[in-house]
């Protein structure tokens, strides 16, 4: 998270810092769903998903 905020903050300034955390979470969930679950076929607990 911190690296995403630093990268986005350096590129887009204050707006980048504000947008960085939600954008990073969306990318993490997309990778978990598309790559790990669908392509690799492994069962993975999605961030924020109820049991």
- Locate tokens 């204050």: which residue? 14
Going by C-alpha positions, the residue among 47, 6, 7 that lies closest to residue 30 is: 47
Instruction: Indicate if the pLDDT at residue 51 is higher than 70.
Output: no
Confidence of residue 5 (pLDDT cuts 50, 70, 90): confident
Neighbours of 24 (CB within 10 A): 17
User: How far apart are the C-alpha atoms of 17 and 21, rounded to whole Å?
Assistant: 7
Model-level pTM?
Answer: 0.63
Q: What is the pLDDT of residues 6-47, one digit of tens each?
A: 888 899 899 998 999 899 889 888 888 888 778 888 787 776
**pLDDT (0 to 100) of residue 40:** 82
């Amino acid at each position: 998270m911190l690296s995403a905020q630093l990268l986005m903050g350096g590129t887009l300034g204050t707006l980048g810092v504000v947008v960085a955390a939600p954008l990073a979470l969306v990318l993490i969930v997309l990778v978990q769903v598309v790559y790990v679950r669908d392509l690799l076929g492994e069962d993975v607990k999605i961030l924020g998903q109820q049991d």
